[in-house]
Structure 1
Amino acid sequence: MIVRRLLPLLLVCAFVAACTAEPQPDPLPMSVPQWSATPLVSPTPSPSPSARPTSETLPLPYDRTAAVRSRLYTAPRAKVKCGIPVIRTSDWTSTKRYLRAVSSCLDRIWASAFKRTRTYFRPPERKFVRHRVKDPDCGLMPSKEADGTYCNETRTYYVLVERADLRPGGAARVAEVTAHEYGHHLQNMTNISDYMWEEQLATRSKGKKDLLSRRLELQAECFAGVALKTMGDYMPAWWEFRSWYFGTLPGKWTRDHGRLSTQLKWLERGYNSAEPGTCNTWTTPEQKVT
């Protein structure tokens, strides 16, 4: 889930590029798959199609092994070429066209990674909306206060596009939200999200639940960075992505999503490497996922 609504008095311009560009709306938090915060469906994890091996694919691990030794971490850098159009100011049609092109490029990037690791893959469903809509299993989507949410049960991500996004300056934000939600789909396909959910059910500690959620969210940020870098020249400049991570989040979002500075570090980690193997948040010391 993407949620980056900054507390207004703490939002600052940290570098000249972000301050001299056209004014941007307040960013929003990050995102947890809908059920990870407030389950709206049965708590029993649904079996992933990735668990059904074929002659071309290998069976996936479950439990902690799925998170700490995912085969996705061994995938090399993907090389793709994607034609992505620009967003025309105040044009919902061109924004949808842009987001669909970004999503199609994400399909190609991650299908290649899964193929190289002999892991079953199918793309997620995606919905780009101007107002919240009802998912058959996860209820109103995106979640309240969030720009994007992934529904684990229907394998669908939802991205809320606001008026301020209907301009070239909004391209970085909506692309990052889309790439982040796609990261949750990767976690679903590799049983990582099932592991997180089972661990949350097994503990009564709110602190541990939040830590597990942060590991999931920050990994999705890192996967987003991998994909955004892979798209290269088709995406806005790095400073445009970076400019959304200054300020602070309300406490409830910081606790289960991590500080904006931590989110930026993981996004940048994936972006600099362009390799999924740098995104293993599950064996990282707790102080690095705050």
Structure 2
Amino acid sequence: MGENRWGNTVLVCAALGLVAAAGVTAVRMSGDGDDQPGRVLSTVRTPMAPAAPSGVPETAEPTGPTASPPPNQDNAIVLQNKLYKIGRIPASRCKEPTVRATSPAKIKQYYTQFLGCLNKAWAPAIREAGFNFWAPKLVVYSGRSANTFCDLTSTAVYCDGTIYMSADYDLKNQTTYDPLWTRTTMAFLIAHEYGHHVQAMTGILQASHNRETILSSTSMQLLESRRRELQASCLSGVYLGADKQYFPARGSWLLKWKWTVRNRGDEWNPKRTHGNKTNHSRWSRAGFDAADPAACNTFTAKPAAVS
């Protein structure tokens, strides 16, 4: 979910790490009653290391005034997009795929079924907003040698109209950590990357990237990146919220999903491209509760809400 530029292509990678101390730690959360104990990945050994956003130098963040405001057209696309006016998206009426992450073939089957459900829900919503819908391609790969020019340095990537998912990551989670957490993580990741596809179809992804590239301050560039990424997580929640009755997203599955989105953040990453775990939880759950893209306008949010 960090971003690089390949020609005219915006590449979006999954780079949110689970925030924990070094090593694998058993964690029991407490608070609002929807937490579950779970194993979390190390911040040191996480396979979800981020890629730097395009145009961000490997230096400390400068301070001071930013560049002149981005073009009005790009501002209008991200701030006032027609996507925010369509209301609740329709439920796909799909159930959670029954296959489990026990082999690359089964992982591919899971994601293929899930992608079909995402298409079913988002196609009428995108058309209602006045945009052309097209289904993204899906590549489930092992290792780092997928046949693509995209930089697959993360476990989930949206690049050039294709969603890339790492089977190795899911296999490791299934065999080493909590199988239920593996399922909620798979559901979150595929729907998050699809959120970037929604951004691409509605012009938000390119317009936001345009806004970022003319900002002279690294801190402002990273803020723009976090707005994109938190919106994709919110859109992930929108799909699940729309389909929660049929999926079904309830009981232990929903509790674990809430735990999952609450414990994904980029506090460990000096680049801060994706948002801290508190804001990630808030936006993901806002999308789930509303099932409406209007809940996901991160571009009008105050900086503290997308920190």
The share of aligned pairs that are identical, in percent, is 25
Alpha-carbon separation, structure 1, partners of 2:271 and 2:279:
10
Q: RMSD over aligned Cα, in angstroms?
A: 2.8
- Partner of 1:9: helix, strand, or coil? coil
> What is the TM-score of this pair, normalised by structure 2?
0.75
Alpha-carbon separation, structure 2, partners of 1:284 and 1:183:
18
Alpha-carbon separation, structure 2, partners of 1:111 and 1:248:
29
Deviations 1:71-128 (A, max 9, x none): 1111222132124431336243333222111111001111010122232110111112
- Partner of 1:255: helix, strand, or coil? coil
Compare the two structures and name the one with the higher helix fraction. Answer: 1
Give the match for residue 118 of structure 1: 130
Give the match for residue 18 of structure 1: 36
Alpha-carbon separation, structure 2, partners of 1:91 and 1:157:
19
Give the match for residue 105 of structure 1: 117
Q: CA deviation at 1:132?
A: 2.4
Deviations 1:156-214 (A, max 9, x none): 11111322344752111011000001111111111111122112221220010000000
The alignment status of 1:68 with 2:79, answered yes or no, reads: yes
The alignment status of 1:289 with 2:269, answered yes or no, reads: no
Alpha-carbon separation, structure 1, partners of 2:305 and 2:210:
23
Alpha-carbon separation, structure 1, partners of 2:172 and 2:191:
19
CA change 1:190–1:31 in 2 (3 A) is farther
Extract unaligned runs of 5+ from structure 1: 40-60
CA change 1:266–1:186 in 2 (3 A) is same
Give the match for residue 262 of structure 1: 279
Whichever residue aligns with residue 18 of structure 1, its letter is Q
Alpha-carbon separation, structure 2, partners of 1:247 and 1:84:
22
Alpha-carbon separation, structure 2, partners of 1:267 and 1:14:
18
Give the match for residue 217 of structure 1: 229
Whichever residue aligns with residue 298 of structure 2, its letter is T
Give the match for residue 247 of structure 2: 234
Alpha-carbon separation, structure 2, partners of 1:247 and 1:119:
31
Residues 157, 182 of structure 1: 8 Å contact kept: yes
Q: How many residues align?
A: 259
Matches within 5 A, 1:1-290: 1=1, 2-9=14-21, 12-15=27-30, 18-19=36-37, 23=39, 25=41, 37-38=53-54, 62-77=73-88, 78-88=90-100, 90-134=102-146, 136-138=148-150, 140-141=151-152, 143=153, 146-151=154-159, 154-161=160-167, 162=169, 163-166=171-174, 168-169=179-180, 170-232=182-244, 233-236=246-249, 237-244=253-260, 245-246=262-263, 249-252=266-269, 255-290=272-307
Residues 231, 298 of structure 2: 8 Å contact kept: yes
